[in-house]
Structure 1
Amino acid sequence: MYGAGLNLFQMPLFPFFMERLGAYTVDRLKTAPLYKRVLKEFAAVTLEFGYDHLFFPGGTRIRSGGIEQRLKKGLLGTVLEAFVSSRMAGKSRRYYVVPVTMTYHLVLEAATLIADHLQEAGKSRFIIIDDESSKPAVILDFVNRLLSMEGRVFIHFCEPLDPFGNRVDETGESIDRHGRRIDIDGYIRRRGKIVRDAQRDAVYTRQLAERIVSAYLDNTTILSTHLAAHLCFRLLREQAAETDLFEFLRETAFPLSLPLDPFLSAMAKMLGELRAMRERGKIRLEPLLERGDPLAILMNALKYFGVYHEAPVIERKGNRLFTRDPNLLYYYHNKLDPYRLEVAA
């Protein structure tokens, strides 16, 4: 089961699938405590009955194009609520949280998402009705172009966690960082009895959220478009270091350009850092980034960037690289932003 924004059911094509895939509606504009409490209780009770749930722990898709860092604890906390309720009822059902990462070279509605993020409108708009993905012809054209390029979607299922953020072994038993089994029922006992404790559960849910964020960082697959956009944006920002981000995006005269050879040199150094991180298990890279040279990676990114967006995110003209849409460049750049990579021109 999963919660889908009410607006999603008003978009072309989507209602047919939503109504058949276990979705229940969520109205993000409703903020009444009673409404939120009923949603949480519904999620907790269905978990108790053995229904799996799929949801964005940030409450919706992340608008910035980055990696989710700020998880909302309400729905996430229903896992622990269901666990406590089942134990109080004398049941031994186990509950697990499986973080999942999904990355792809292009995002259909990237322009609208990043505009929403920059305007801070994402707080009140769960699904954007007037974006690119609301037009069936645009969707079909986008899909056809991607299929012609053999575009991939990289999905990774991370190691499962228990409701407290502990890892589990192959039999589903909770283990500590040394691999020793843990009696998690003891976490919710007081003087030998299982009890409800909202403050205690909030601490455990926060701990679970931290482990999920860590899993996202370690298991996101970085693609050529992310690397090229990240490096291009960082180098362009260095040219306008005296301006803040919003002034740069709003007032800088575009297109801006970079010389090709220094860009490739900087990419080679950033690739070295990324590959070292991959060896330590701190990131995932698509095969091209694992073995390819900077020029091959750049050309692959340019091929994707030229597929759909009206103004190519990055394009090559001779021995220079140009960008005409700073917002889109910033959107694709953000995927690598949490890793704080060094830029050496």
Structure 2
Amino acid sequence: MLGSLIQAQRLLVEKNSTRKIVIVPVVLTYESVLEARSLIIQHLTTTGQERFTARAKKAGFGSYYKFLFRVLKNKSHIHLTFGRPMDVFGNHLDENANSLDHKSHIVQLKDYFSTNGQFLKDDQREMIYTRELGERIADAYRMYNYVLPTHLVAYAGFVLLSKMNPQHDVYSLVQLPEEEYFLPSKSIENLCAQLQMILFQKSEAGLIIHPKELEGTIEDVIEIGLQNLGVYHLKRILTKDTYGRYFSEDFLGLLYYANRLQNLDLQNEIDWTSIHWEADRF
């Protein structure tokens, strides 16, 4: 599809048209996704093959009652983020739709299709343009990925679960028995506080869009995240028991929501010396 945009722009340039194809990156962010479990199962089955086998789970009447209560009580929001417009070569545009290079100089699109001053169709060159455009769109996705409290707490929970079980890869982690694991409360809260600070720093550096929903005390952010996480699921993605311990009823769902932050490479910026992750296992 991206290659078609390059071809279409070439045809416009060939006809001396001033029309320009503009790409506007748009990122949809959901607090809760109804198909989360089935989507992550499909992904793990495709990538893991024989390393992953989904476990069938039966839900009792009580689970359906609690699910219905959560749906009626809580609201789930959708956030729509528009990125900076670009042309088919990944150049940003000014207010007059002029294409700008990395030094903010105006560039002419016809130059991308010319060799030694002559207009020339070059399929190999256009394949390179298509790959570069895909990379720019992927960069825009990372930058305009709007982080919500649900993503923060899910990422903290799954990363901590991974640290507690270093011998397991992601395919075996999600197949562990959820009822046997509790996540230390202080570790989750410390980790969430660090992640909150790291994300704000990335925002100030212009690497990501400002995560406004993460503003406030970390206690409030965690509470909102737990409340909104997995509203549309029978099993709680992450919650607390009466003793204040964090636990998940669905590691697959936990991975799905945690994946929203995987592309930011946050683990390398966490101070793990201040976090205790020995397993609370029963």
Per the normalisation by structure 2, the TM-score is 0.83
Distance 2:210 2:104 in 1: 28
Percent identity over the alignment? 30
Kindly provide the amino acid, as one letter, of the partner of residue 295 in structure 1. Answer: E
Larger RCO, structure (CA 8 Å, separation 6 or more): 2
Of 247, 260, 265, the residue aligned with 2:185 is 260
- Separation in 1, partners of 2:213, 2:98: 37
Equivalent pair of 2:229/2:238 in contact (CA under 8 Å):
yes
> 1:159, 1:167 within 8 Å by CA — same for their partners in 2?
yes
Residue aligning to 1:127: none
How far residue 87 of structure 1 moved from its aligned partner, in angstroms, is: 2.0
Stretches of structure 2 that go unaligned for 5 or more consecutive residues are 48-63, 276-282
Aligned-pair distance for 1:306?
Answer: 5.5
Structure 1 counterpart of 2:170, one-letter code: L
Q: Is the 1:314–1:324 contact (alpha carbons within 8 Å) kept by the matching residues of 2?
A: yes
What amino acid is the match of 2:13?
R
TM, length-normalised to structure 1: 0.68
For 2:39, which of 91, 113, 122 is the aligned residue? 113
In structure 2, the residue matched to 1:134 is: none
What's the offset of the Cα at 1:193? 3.0
RMSD over aligned Cα, in angstroms?
Answer: 2.2
Q: Secondary structure at the match of 2:183?
A: strand
Please report how far the alpha carbon of residue 265 of structure 1 lies from its aligned counterpart in structure 2 after TM superposition.
Answer: 1.5
Kindly report structure 1 stretches of 4+ aligned residues shifted beyond 3 Å: 148-151
Q: Report the counterpart of residue 211 of structure 1 in structure 2.
A: 136
Q: Could you list the runs of 5+ residues in structure 1 that have no partner in the other structure?
A: 1-74, 122-137
Counterpart of 2:229 in structure 1: which amino acid? Answer: F
The answer to whether residue 76 in structure 2 is matched with residue 151 in structure 1 is: yes
Q: Is the 8 A contact 1:225 1:332 kept in 2?
A: yes
Equivalent residues of 1:223, 1:285 under 8 A apart:
no
Partner of 1:97: 23
Q: Which of 215, 228, 232 in structure 2 is aligned with 1:304?
A: 228
Give the C-alpha shift of residue 90 in structure 1.
3.2
The reply on whether 1:314 has 2:238 as its aligned counterpart is yes
Aligned with 2:202 (options 252, 262, 277)? 277
Name the CA distance, whole Å, in 1 between partners of 2:16 and 2:194.
57
What code does the residue aligned with 2:133 have? Answer: L
Q: Tell me how far apart the structure 2 counterparts of residues 108 and 306 of structure 1 sit (CA, whole Å).
A: 8
Question: Matches of residues 184-199 of structure 1 in structure 2 within 5 Å?
Answer: 184-199=109-124
Whether contact under 8 Å (1:101, 1:157) holds in the other structure is yes
Provide the secondary structure at the position in 2 that maps to 1:313.
coil
**In the alignment, what sits opposite 2:127?**
202
**2:147 aligned partner:** 222
Tell me which amino acid in the other structure corresponds to 2:132.
Q
Residue of structure 2 equivalent to 1:84: 10
**Partner SS state of residue 157, structure 2:** helix
> Quick one: distance in 1 between partners of 2:192 and 2:116?
59
Distance of 1:332 and 1:199 partners within structure 2: 38
Paired with 2:167 and 2:193, the residues of 1 have a C-alpha distance of 27
Q: CA offsets, 1:307-336, max 9 Å, x none? A: 221110011012200112111101001000
Say which of 292, 295, 311 aligns to 2:219: 295
Q: Tell me, yes or no, if the aligned pair for 2:236 and 2:250 is still in contact at 8 Å.
A: yes
Distance in 2 of aligned mates of 1:228 and 1:196: 50
